[in-house]
Amino acid sequence: MTDTSDSDSAAFRSAFIALIGRPNSGKSTLLNTVIGSEISIVSAMPQTTRCNARGIYTTTTMQLVFVDTPGVHIGKHTINKAMLHQARTAAEDAVDLICYLVDLSRDFGDEEAETAALVSASRTVPVVIVFNKTDLTRSVDLAIGKFYSRFPQMEQLPSVRINATAPESKELFLSAIDPFISPGPLFFDPEDLTDSTLRQIASEYLRKQVITVADREVPHAVFVEIEDYREEAGRHSIIATIHVETRGQRGILVGKNGTVIARIKKEFRTEMTRLTGVPTSITCHIKVSPRWRDSETFLRRAGMNVS
């Protein structure tokens, strides 16, 4: 339990911090490492995060609210525009700091240029560059040198080098951003790790299981809708619809004799029970919703701002 009662309220500090970067750069991984819980789903697939998610880190002296964002990616679907809008809004919103995650282990392509431009556009918000995946990078100095020669405007910014999967990166990262945390109030209950609802978490956890079992285009073509989430008599009962775009994708998710969807449900129940501490049951429908990724109506209903 976090105790804030003996802290000097005048000295208490807080900040909203946006995590921005191209897809797969490790934003969600870093968030989870700092919070110590799976607030935002992580996968090896680019474009895993679709909506901004907040993770809350509270100590006796400060509260940091991290906003994890979808990777900066110019895709052909309407959902890609909605995802880019989320990242842009997070960078432009009233955040106190932007952490720009740079994956050092891959070449810097068009998406990196797009991200650097998005970050540079936020002139009034301080930026810390988080050079990530140092463990996968043969020469970190060389890779950082290449980054600066491609984006010279970034060379003056403070930076830190981490491996977001390693628990010891937490302190390194927090020390790097510490100078940017000003006096401020508690925004959330000190016990809260996120402001996501159980419904939102369930939707993401179910999508993660789909990403885990299916490959190629299927995960991108999947949308999880939680129809009902009921908490009663010491158990949670969930009704979900997994939308896919084609009958072929539906077949992949159902699997021979329903084995694949059975596995998805089993893993999902285990993860939800671990999170909530109570048994979870799930009823799952798989529905073909052609071209939902380009349907503004569908995306709006799904809570995504399409503009």
265 interacts with, out of ligand GTP, Mg ion, none, CB within 5 to 8 A per kind: none
- Which range in 48-56, 125-133, 143-151, 260-268 contacts Mg ion by CB under 5 A? 48-56
Q: Smallest gap, in angstroms, from Cβ of residue 47 to ligand GTP?
A: 5
Binding test (CB under 5 A) with Mg ion, winner from 24, 32, 49, 80: 49
137 interacts with, out of ligand GTP, Mg ion, none, CB within 5 to 8 A per kind: none
Binding test (CB under 5 A) with Mg ion, winner from 14, 24, 25, 28: 28
Binding test (CB under 6 A) with ligand GTP, winner from 135, 192, 267, 296: 135
164 interacts with, out of ligand GTP, Mg ion, none, CB within 5 to 8 A per kind: ligand GTP
Question: CA–CA separation, 130 vs 175, rounded Å?
Answer: 12
Question: CA–CA separation, 113 vs 62, rounded Å?
Answer: 34
Site string for ligand GTP, 136-165 (x = CB under 6 A): x--------------------------xxx
Q: How far apart are the first and last CA of the chain?
A: 41
Q: Smallest gap, in angstroms, from Cβ of residue 243 to ligand GTP?
A: 20
CB 163 within 8 A of CB 212: no
Q: Centre a 10 Å sphere on the Cβ of residue 228 and count the other Cβ atoms it contains.
A: 10
- Which is nearest to 127 in space by CA: 170, 160, 82? 160
- Which is nearest to 221 in space by CA: 300, 304, 287, 303? 287
**DSSP assignment, residue 142?**
H
142 interacts with, out of ligand GTP, Mg ion, none, CB within 5 to 8 A per kind: none
Containing 149, the helix (H) or strand (E) segment is helix 140-150
Task: Give whichever of 27 and 269 is closer to Mg ion, judged by the CB atom.
Answer: 27
Within its chain, how far is the Cα of 186 from the centroid?
A: 23
- Which is nearest to 127 in space by CA: 96, 149, 103? 96
Determine if 104 is a binding residue for ligand GTP (CB under 6 A): no
Task: Give whichever of 222 and 261 is closer to ligand GTP, judged by the CB atom.
Answer: 222
Task: Give whichever of 48 and 249 is closer to Mg ion, judged by the CB atom.
Answer: 48
Site string for ligand GTP, 11-30 (x = CB under 6 A): ----------x-xxxxxxx-
Binding test (CB under 6 A) with ligand GTP, winner from 17, 20, 35, 42: 42
Site size with ligand GTP, rule: CB under 6 A: 24
Spell out the residues 6+ positions from residue 270 whose beta carbon is closer than 8 angstroms to its own: none
Q: Smallest gap, in angstroms, from Cβ of residue 304 to Mg ion?
A: 15
- Which is nearest to 261 in space by CA: 227, 185, 296, 210? 210
Q: Centre a 10 Å sphere on the Cβ of residue 266 and count the other Cβ atoms it contains.
A: 12
- Whole-Å CA distances, 198 to 137, 158, 187, 245: 37, 36, 20, 26
Site string for ligand GTP, 44-73 (x = CB under 6 A): x-xxxx--------------------xx--
Contact positions vs ligand GTP (CB under 6 A): 21, 23-29, 42-44, 46-49, 70-71, 132-133, 135-136, 163-165
Contact positions vs Mg ion (CB under 5 A): 27-28, 48-49
